[in-house]
């Protein structure tokens, strides 16, 4: 039995992944932004071990979530599922665009602070293809805001983070996933992809049911259980390091180049 923590899992793909993992006999810890959503999540998945509550829109909230997760003991896998699309132009109390805060900075903070599990899964999107990293203007101070472009850039940033982890942490299997355009609260009811297919890959990466290409993969990008070619920028180690440095400056939390693995030590 594996233990898996899933961010942004009170609804949508995160909750569905939790349901499928629990049905396979694994222990699942959910995450919700507030107590009300936590209650809804437990009602939807009463088999869950617990729900960690915390707002990933702020650095303090992300740190609190990481602290709570570590207090529960080491996990086998962490699925970075939380994300926002519309309304992301808002500025958080930390002076960061909300979309960047949730989609990029929060997984960076959690990756840096949570005791490294064996498997890390980062949800990206096919929309990252063709986007520019624009790491010199992630806060859109020099450009007019665009929901779709900001989201696309953030999902490229997520892959930069995932592949940096895979490169710098050889003891961890870190991969990116495009779940497709699925009918969730974010995706909307006009989405054309299947919801079950949308969570199947991250479920298999988190707790492989059998030995397969997915079970041994690291530094890869998947869509519907198959490896896909990501945007070439995501493979640029200089861009990866630039993103890590940017997130470190913004959050005040350094990325651990050589983390303590398998011991629970921080």
Residue-range domains of the chain with CATH:
3-251 (3.40.50.720)
Neighbour tally for 172: CB within 10 Å = 19
The first and second tokens of residue 107, run together, are 């997984």
pLDDT digits (tens, 9 = 90+) for 42-90: 999 999 999 999 999 999 999 999 999 999 999 999 999 999 998 899 9
Catalytic residue among 122, 155, 173, 221: 155
Q: Check residue 248 and report its DSSP letter.
A: H
Q: What is the sign, positive or negative, of the torsion defined by CA atoms of 249, 251, 253, 255?
A: negative
Active site residue 155: yes
Active site residue 151: yes
> What's the confidence (pLDDT) of residue 79?
98
Catalytic residue among 108, 122, 151, 221: 151
- Secondary structure class of 5 (helix, strand, coil): strand
Can you tell me the distance from the alpha carbon of 193 to that of 180, in angstroms, rounded to the nearest whole number?
A: 6
> What's the confidence (pLDDT) of residue 186?
56
Can you tell me the distance from the alpha carbon of 132 to that of 129, in angstroms, rounded to the nearest whole number?
A: 9
Specify the pTM.
0.93
Q: Within the chain, which residues score under 70 in pLDDT?
A: 181-194, 260-266
């Amino acid at each position: 039995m594996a233990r898996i923590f899933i961010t942004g899992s009170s609804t949508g793909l995160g909750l569905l992944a939790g349901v499928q993992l629990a049905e396979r006999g694994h222990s699942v810890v959910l995450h919700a932004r507030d107590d009300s959503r936590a209650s809804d999540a437990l009602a939807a998945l009463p088999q869950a071990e617990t729900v960690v509550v915390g707002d990933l829109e702020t650095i303090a909230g992300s740190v609190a979530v990481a602290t709570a997760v570590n207090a529960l003991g080491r996990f086998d896998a962490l699925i970075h599922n939380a994300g926002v699309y519309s309304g992301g132009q808002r500025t958080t109390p930390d002076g960061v665009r909300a979309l960047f805060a949730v989609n990029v900075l929060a997984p960076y903070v959690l990756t840096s602070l949570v005791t490294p599990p064996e498997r890390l899964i980062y949800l990206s999107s096919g929309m990252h293809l063709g986007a520019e990293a624009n790491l010199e203007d992630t806060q859109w101070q020099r450009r007019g805001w665009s929901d779709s472009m900001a989201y696309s850039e953030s999902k490229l940033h997520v892959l930069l983070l995932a592949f940096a982890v895979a490169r710098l942490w050889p003891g961890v299997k870190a991969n990116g996933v495009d779940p497709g355009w699925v009918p969730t609260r974010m995706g909307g009811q006009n989405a054309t992809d299947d919801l079950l297919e949308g969570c199947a890959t991250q479920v298999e990466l988190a707790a492989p049911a059998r030995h397969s290409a997915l079970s041994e993969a690291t530094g890869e990008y998947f869509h519907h259980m198959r490896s896909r070619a990501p945007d070439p920028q995501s493979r640029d180690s200089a861009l990866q390091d630039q993103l890590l440095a940017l997130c470190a400056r913004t959050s005040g939390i350094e990325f651990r180049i050589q983390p303590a693995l398998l011991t629970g030590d921080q």
